[in-house]
Amino acid sequence: MEIKIGMSRRSDKIVTDKDTAAAYKTGGQEVFSTPAMIALMEESAFLLLKESPLGLDSVGTEMDIKHTRACGVGAKVYSIAKVEKVDGNRVVFSVSAKDEKGEIGSGAHTRYIIDPVRFMKKINGR
Is position 2 within any domain?
A: no
DSSP 8-state class, residue 42: H
Is position 13 within any domain?
A: yes
Residues 6+ apart with CB under 8 A from 2: 54, 86
Domain with 88 in it: what CATH number?
3.10.129.10
Mean pLDDT of 53-70: 95
- Domain range spanning residue 55? 8-124
Is position 40 within any domain?
A: yes
In this prediction, residue 117 carries a pLDDT of 87
Is position 1 within any domain?
A: no
In this prediction, residue 102 carries a pLDDT of 98
As for how many domains the chain has, the answer is 1
Mean pLDDT of 68-96: 97
Tell me the average pLDDT of the chain: 95
List pLDDT tens digits, range 17-47. Answer: 999 999 999 999 999 999 999 999 999 999 9
Distance, CA of 72 to chain centre: 19
